[in-house]
Structure 1
């Protein structure tokens, strides 16, 4: 009898340890190339990949995720697309929804961007950078989607916003790189708004995927979303 009790206790202990270890596993993410739905002057050729790399670096530096490297992700997606085209033997092609190492894909679209100089003094705009005037200001919004790789369903969605001025904003310590096509904007309001959005996305994903949607940290984002919606509704003329 004692042996049965001992074996039962051992099994229950093993299951508990296994469950705790599984629940503490870091979420595995793949970050897709950013897309753009605006007329932002700074968006050109490879900016979507630059933003992708910036977010990958920021997520990896939090040490809260296992992040699939961009080139590896691109290679896997390319192989899947080739397999889906019908030119590969069905028995040997890569299966859609089976990206190695990733539980979620993060997709981001720049959905709004504004850049202006106010307060008098005019100003000169060149290649998306505004010079002159008393106040240089940039606003940026990014629509974020988290896609469950196994099911293809949208696990989470959120709009992230950031506003910056030439006088500077405190966006904390940005841990990723800032180069490529965006290097010239690093110290401008445009660059500050971009950095703030990247950091906000990483912090939100930590809250949603690591701490959980029902955690206390989500209250802050719920309130931000409420304010964003109210502001959007207030700017719409329904006459």
Structure 2
């Protein structure tokens, strides 16, 4: 099932994609009898996280590309909710940076509160998955020596276009196209830490709230974006997150 969130009279409304239509979800997230053309709705980020927890390195090929050792445990950082950007939205190029990078990622969307979850129980707390772009001001990241400012500008967390609840994260193709040219292409089978481990690991540190997201790291091939560029994160089985840089 593909769940979208869209703008309706200035408020976020959820719906279920049914071909070219969206079935509006009513009270209690129950499907209603009302449908709208998918082409006519304005997408919002598909969830409203209290936090986005991100994994700094989680593809073996990316570690090799950077000549880095495979980490023994996940390295975590966070993005604020104010950095959210919808599919179809504009990634703003801040004046403070001259080196803005894309990073295609699979995002886990939490469905039920999770704290100290064993790995074997992690799947019970996952609502589904969506596409993410971990936009990064690479020059600021290098100058600061830590990642908060470089990762946290407004619009630096594009998510979407939907939450796919029936998705196998073990071996899905993930790619990124910049102006139609493929720049990243890999599979989640290259993960260092699988999804269940990440949910369990993060939940040992902080309570995960419904709607929170965990970004699972980026494959090799990260690189710069310029104003006017069109960037697409394409994950097999979920869809395409598309944004322009402005």
More strand by share: 2
> Which structure is higher in RCO with an 8 Å CA cutoff and minimum separation 6?
2
Do they superpose with TM above 0.5? no
Question: Under a length normalisation based on structure 1, what TM-score does the superposition of the two structures give?
Answer: 0.30
Larger radius of gyration: 1
More helix by share: 1
Question: Under a length normalisation based on structure 2, what TM-score does the superposition of the two structures give?
Answer: 0.29
